[in-house]
């Protein structure tokens, strides 16, 4: 006990003491060990006797001592899951067609959708040349044409160009010291020239263009202005022989109003737009690409078979005959000439005399031979009808009735 009080006070405070091992040869005094080290066995002491207790006086046992606290093992922290590593996409080796997407932040959604459409097609590569904060209003009028030229001159292959631009162009134009109001006649004139400059850049390099129109927005006022801008794109693209894709009807409801939900490319209802009312979801981007892909496939097929792509006529009028881009059908096969059918056949007199095979007149009645000679002679010469056979259609006999006596 003195040892427990001396060197193990902290242990006694917890209700435990160390029992000394019996003396034996080689026994070492516990005080010779380092502090905190005891060679004995940890035991729990007996409960000390209390003073006078009525419970013990009347023979009622005291409450049992509380159980000793067992050490609780701390739970191990789960190892963090390995960080997800994006699977690198395999580059397409020597694709024949290169579709380059030019435009602002909305064009990025078109590029994502086209990547999904042509992910398994090793013959078509999609490249994005996106400038999120650019526009055609406040920037230099030659900024976008120069950017397209520098992109193509730097080695970017382009079989076909997809353009989606104009999200940030809903604002006034500055012409010198004058401020041109949005969608005024002068504004439309200047804006059309800037769109034409982009299309002329592709036309100089014989690159077909698919221009995607702007979608509806949550703001009805904004949607009305974008519809007017879409008409400028449509007129300019058609005048330059390009393909204009109107995606506006694909993102409105039955009353032609903006909606965040609608049918996807498979016809299933899905969320197409995000909460900001401007951007697209992954499903919506796939739907944008679906509209553009219809025109892209037409142009790529025309290039594959060597047919000329529809271009603007010499008089500058918009192309309205889409059949110009379709190859002419092959010449029809020459029908086989059939012999002419006579109007009147040979005339056979009904009173002509019968002639024998040798050319002699038949002098006697023809002879009937064989088993059918007698029935034929009776029917054709004598006029006696042959008797009917049971079960045949000409058997009109009533079935024979039997009396009860039989």
In this structure, of 45-49, 189-193, 366-370, the range with the lowest mean pLDDT score is: 45-49
Cβ neighbour number for residue 270 with a 10 Å cutoff:
18
pLDDT of residue 74: 59
Place of tokens 């042509």: 118
Cβ–Cβ under 8 Å, residues 118 and 93? no
pLDDT of residue 344: 73
CA 377 to CA 389: how far, in whole Å? Answer: 19
- Give the mean pLDDT of 33-56: 55
CA dihedral (95, 96, 102, 108) positive or negative: negative
- Give the mean pLDDT of 272-291: 95
Contact partners, residue 338, CB within 8 Å, separation at least 6: none
Cβ neighbour number for residue 51 with a 10 Å cutoff:
4
The string of pLDDT tens digits covering residues 320-335 is 444 444 455 566 666 6
Cβ neighbour number for residue 309 with a 10 Å cutoff:
18
Torsion of CA 252, 253, 259, 262, to 10 degrees: -90
Two tokens, residue 193: 């020239």
CA 120 to CA 122: how far, in whole Å? Answer: 6
Q: Which of 39, 41, 19 is nearest to 31 (CA)?
A: 39
Q: What is the DSSP letter of 161?
A: E
Q: What is the DSSP letter of 136?
A: S
Stated pTM of the model: 0.57
In this structure, of 159-168, 284-293, 311-320, the range with the lowest mean pLDDT score is: 311-320
Is the confidence at residue 182, as pLDDT, over 80? Answer: yes
Q: Which of 294, 67, 106, 121 is nearest to 215 (CA)?
A: 106
Cβ–Cβ under 8 Å, residues 272 and 290? no
Instruction: Name, of 11-20, 44-53, 192-201, 352-361, the range with top average pLDDT.
Output: 192-201
The string of pLDDT tens digits covering residues 69-121 is 665 555 565 555 444 444 456 678 889 999 999 999 999 999 999 999 999 99
Cβ–Cβ under 8 Å, residues 219 and 260? no
Is the confidence at residue 251, as pLDDT, over 90? Answer: yes
CA 42 to CA 58: how far, in whole Å? Answer: 35
Structural domains in the chain, sorted by start: 1-22+29-44 (no CATH), 97-325 (3.40.50.1110)
């Amino acid at each position: 006990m003195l040892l427990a009080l001396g060197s193990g006070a902290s242990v006694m405070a917890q209700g435990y003491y160390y029992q000394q091992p019996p003396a034996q040869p080689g026994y070492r005094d516990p005080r010779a060990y380092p502090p905190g080290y005891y060679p004995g066995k940890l035991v729990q002491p007996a409960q000390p006797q209390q003073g006078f207790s009525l419970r013990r006086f009347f023979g009622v046992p005291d409450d049992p001592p509380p159980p000793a606290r067992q050490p609780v093992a701390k739970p191990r922290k789960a190892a963090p899951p390995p960080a997800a590593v994006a699977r690198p996409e395999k580059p397409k080796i020597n694709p024949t067609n290169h579709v380059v997407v030019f435009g602002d932040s909305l064009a990025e959604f078109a590029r994502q959708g086209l990547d999904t459409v042509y992910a398994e097609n090793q013959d078509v590569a999609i490249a994005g040349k996106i400038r999120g904060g650019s526009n055609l209003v406040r920037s230099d009028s030659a900024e976008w044409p120069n950017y397209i030229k520098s992109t193509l001159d730097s080695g970017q292959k382009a079989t076909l160009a997809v353009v989606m631009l104009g999200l940030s162009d809903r604002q006034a134009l500055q012409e010198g010291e004058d401020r041109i109001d949005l969608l005024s006649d002068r504004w439309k004139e200047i804006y059309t020239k800037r769109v034409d400059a982009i299309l002329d850049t592709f036309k100089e390099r014989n690159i077909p263009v698919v221009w995607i129109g702007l979608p509806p927005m949550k703001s009805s006022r904004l949607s009305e202005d974008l519809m007017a801008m879409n008409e400028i794109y449509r007129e300019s693209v058609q005048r330059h022989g390009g393909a204009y894709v109107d995606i506006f009807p694909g993102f409105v409801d039955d009353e032609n109003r903006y909606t965040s939900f609608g049918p996807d490319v498979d016809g299933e209802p899905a969320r197409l737009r995000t909460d900001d009312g401007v951007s697209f979801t992954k499903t919506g981007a796939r739907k944008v690409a679906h509209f553009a892909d219809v025109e892209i496939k037409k142009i790529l097929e025309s290039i594959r078979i060597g047919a000329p792509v529809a271009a603007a006529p010499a008089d500058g009028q918009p192309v309205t005959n889409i059949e110009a881009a379709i190859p002419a059908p092959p010449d029809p096969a020459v029908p086989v000439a059939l012999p002419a059918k006579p109007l009147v056949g040979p005339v056979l007199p009904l009173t002509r005399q019968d002639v024998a095979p040798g050319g002699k007149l038949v002098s006697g009645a023809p002879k009937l031979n064989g088993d059918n000679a007698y029935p034929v002679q009776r029917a054709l010469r004598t006029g006696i009808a042959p008797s009917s056979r049971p079960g045949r259609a000409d058997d009109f006999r009533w079935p024979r009735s039997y009396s009860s006596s039989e």
